[in-house]
Amino acid sequence: MILVTAGEIQEMDQRTIESFGLPGRVLMENAGRGATRILLEQFSDIKNKRVGVIAGCGNNGGDGFVIARGLSQRGIRVSVYLLSDSRRVTGDAAANLELLKPIAVPTIELPDEDAFNRHKEAMTEIEIWVDAILGTGLKSTVKGYFKTVIDFINSRHRPVLAVDIASGLDSDTGQVCGACIRAQTTATFGFAKTGHMVYPGAHWTGNLEVIDIGIPPHIVQSVDPRQFLVTPRRVRSCLPPRADDIHKGITGHLLVVAGSRDKTGAAAMTATAALRAGAGLVTLASGASANTVVATRAMEVMTTSLPEDQQGIIAESAFDAIEKQMAGKKCMALGPGLGQTAGIQRLVRRIIEHSPISLVVDADGINALAGHTRLLKKACVPVILTPHPGEMARLLDTRTEVIQQDRIGCARNFATEFNVYLVLKGSRTVIARPDGRIFINPTGNAGMASAGMGDVLTGFIAGLVAQGLTAGCAALAGVYLHGATADSLAAAMGPYGYLAGEILQAMPGEIKKIVCDSHR
């Protein structure tokens, strides 16, 4: 499913009007009529309600005028509250504002806070609001008068249909710009915007409906959007069918370098998750003291002991032994439970720089790269990094809140600069590819805020790479299936309290749903 930025949808609109010859007023009419249909579907008793369209003076307001006309022509009581002097409304929006006069739609001009205060009491009687204030072109923080109006509408706790995007929401990052309408439903035009799909934007968007306004496919292709929502169909296309005569020698051999004396669980879960993903063979390389424990927790996993220090952490001198273990393997999972000594960090960096097999790097493997991200450019194999926001902040030498304010931008910039595949974990995990393409994952839930979930994801992605999936497909499918498994557990067990080990047990069932259900 394509997602677009504000710039991309504006470019599509412009090319549709200028090169394809479809007038902007037709696009506005299509948008307004589509939103009216959604409004009627969402509120079956709307004929018994009073509807208020709160509008700005731009094209978003113009869409709102079309909605007001459509409602009035169906006998619905609707009023328009224009947060401007009508003389400031121009172009297609002005034409649609004029069309409200012959059908006597009440249009109240509220150009300032004094006018708003005079009409505020009457506005409390509105039972359904249509938000047509700002749209996707928002460039600055909402404050002053517009913030006062938005706060008023939110305080009424009435249902709101947002036109294209909730006013005050950044359509590219999903961040709230000072103040934002809390919509029950959003009717968006052409394509969903990235800000609808990531948090906190998803909270303010409510139920999202996408309306086709007539943008031709060839124009969409010419603009070439670079963001996508992961869907079951796309995941299915990543998972190759298995021949009946396949055997473990064909389904891939994964090397896991993970664990330490006090962190054996991370290593065991990573290795087992790779098998749950379908890898044929998994060898876990860790210090001797860790392997003794792991061998009893993951019986299907082969183990090999590496030199370790007095703390039970793999020694820096283990590189040669690890290099020998790479022979015959298709991928390496590196990082979970390794520890953060100076020696292990130097070892991790040396592995990343010289590995001849694909790498999936997580946890302490990522921490070892802080301050040394340039060596990623020296890697001669595909590298997948799976940081949570805190780890991403350490990679970029910034604060976690900076990452969270623009998850898509941070992920894309890092992936393209360092030629890696980046899985930025969290609500609506962002998967960034070296070519700049972004995939947003819709699966997963708050119950995943629990120990071991990241270790399972690392092993699952690495297990898919070991089977021959490209790094991009493995990251996409692994993240989606990991979250979908958690969603199934939450539905069966409750919103939280299920464990990472239960994700391991349930994963094959989620793979079955994707592979066997051709209708999803």
Q: Examine the domain organization and report whether 197 and 333 are in the same domain.
A: no
pLDDT confidence of residue 518: 55
What is the β-pairing status of strands 281-287 and 192-193? unpaired
- For 302, how many CA atoms within 13 A lie in the half-sphere containing its CB? 11
| Cβ atoms of residues 430 and 404 within 8 Å | no
Strands (E), 219-263: 227-229, 253-257
Q: Examine the domain organization and report whether 67 and 161 are in the same domain.
A: yes
Picking from 228, 259, 290, the residue at the C-terminal end of a domain is 228
pLDDT confidence of residue 127: 97
Mean pLDDT over 101-120 rounds to 96
Q: Examine the domain organization and report whether 428 and 319 are in the same domain.
A: yes
Quick check: is 129 in a domain? yes
Mean pLDDT over 194-201 rounds to 96
Q: Examine the domain organization and report whether 281 and 223 are in the same domain.
A: no
Instruction: Report pLDDT digits (tens) over 21-54.
Output: 999 999 999 999 999 999 999 988 999 999 999 9
Indicate the pTM of the whole model. 0.92
Sequence letter at residue 102: P
Mean pLDDT over 121-147 rounds to 95
Instruction: Report pLDDT digits (tens) over 276-286.
Output: 999 999 999 99
Instruction: Report pLDDT digits (tens) over 421-442.
Output: 999 999 999 999 999 999 999 9
Q: Which residue has the tokens 């394809």?
A: 20
CA 345 to chain centre: 30
Picking from 228, 262, 282, the residue at the C-terminal end of a domain is 228
Q: Give the whole-number percent of the chain exceeding pLDDT 70.
A: 99
The Cα–Cα gap between 273 and 194 comes to 31
Torsion of CA 474, 479, 483, 484, to 10 degrees: -30
Quick check: is 520 in a domain? no
Inter-residue long-range contacts of 411-414, CB under 8 Å, 24+ positions, other chains counted: 411/438, 412/436, 412/438, 414/373
Whether residue 243 has pLDDT greater than 90: no
The Cα–Cα gap between 105 and 117 comes to 21
Burial class of residue 199 (count of CB atoms within 10 Å of its CB; 0-12, 13-18, 19+): middle
Mean pLDDT over 99-126 rounds to 96
Quick check: is 478 in a domain? yes
Spatial CA neighbour of 341 closest among 305, 317, 377: 317
Q: Which two tokens stand for residue 335?
A: 């990082």
Q: Examine the domain organization and report whether 280 and 210 are in the same domain.
A: no
Number of other residues whose CB lies within 10 A of the CB of residue 502? 16
What is the β-pairing status of strands 430-432 and 438-440? antiparallel
- Domain residue limits at 418: 251-515
Picking from 165, 197, 228, the residue at the C-terminal end of a domain is 228
Query: For the chain, what is the domain count?
Result: 2
Instruction: Report pLDDT digits (tens) over 323-366.
Output: 999 999 999 999 999 999 999 999 999 999 999 999 999 999 99
Sequence letter at residue 186: T
Inter-residue long-range contacts of 305-310, CB under 8 Å, 24+ positions, other chains counted: 308/260, 308/261, 309/341, 309/343
The Cα–Cα gap between 235 and 25 comes to 39
**DSSP 3-state assignment of 193?**
strand
Instruction: Report pLDDT digits (tens) over 373-426.
Output: 999 999 999 999 999 999 999 999 999 999 999 999 999 999 999 999 999 999
pLDDT confidence of residue 321: 97
Quick check: is 237 in a domain? no
Instruction: Report pLDDT digits (tens) over 276-329.
Output: 999 999 999 999 888 888 877 888 999 999 999 999 999 999 999 999 999 999
Q: Examine the domain organization and report whether 208 and 269 are in the same domain.
A: no
Q: Which CATH number fits the domain that encloses residue 305?
A: 3.40.1190.20
The Cα–Cα gap between 508 and 252 comes to 17
Mean pLDDT over 64-76 rounds to 97
**DSSP 3-state assignment of 138?**
coil
Quick check: is 233 in a domain? no
pLDDT confidence of residue 202: 96
Q: Examine the domain organization and report whether 294 and 438 are in the same domain.
A: yes
Q: Examine the domain organization and report whether 114 and 256 are in the same domain.
A: no
Quick check: is 238 in a domain? no
Q: Examine the domain organization and report whether 140 and 70 are in the same domain.
A: yes
Q: Examine the domain organization and report whether 277 and 408 are in the same domain.
A: yes
Mean pLDDT over 122-138 rounds to 95
Q: Examine the domain organization and report whether 373 and 488 are in the same domain.
A: yes
Q: Examine the domain organization and report whether 287 and 321 are in the same domain.
A: yes
Q: Give the whole-number percent of the chain exceeding pLDDT 90.
A: 92
The Cα–Cα gap between 364 and 337 comes to 7
pLDDT band (50, 70, 90) for residue 255: very high
Strands (E), 240-363: 253-257, 281-287, 302-306, 331-334, 358-361
Quick check: is 239 in a domain? no
Quick check: is 336 in a domain? yes
Q: Which CATH number fits the domain that encloses residue 66?
A: 3.40.50.10260
The Cα–Cα gap between 442 and 479 comes to 10
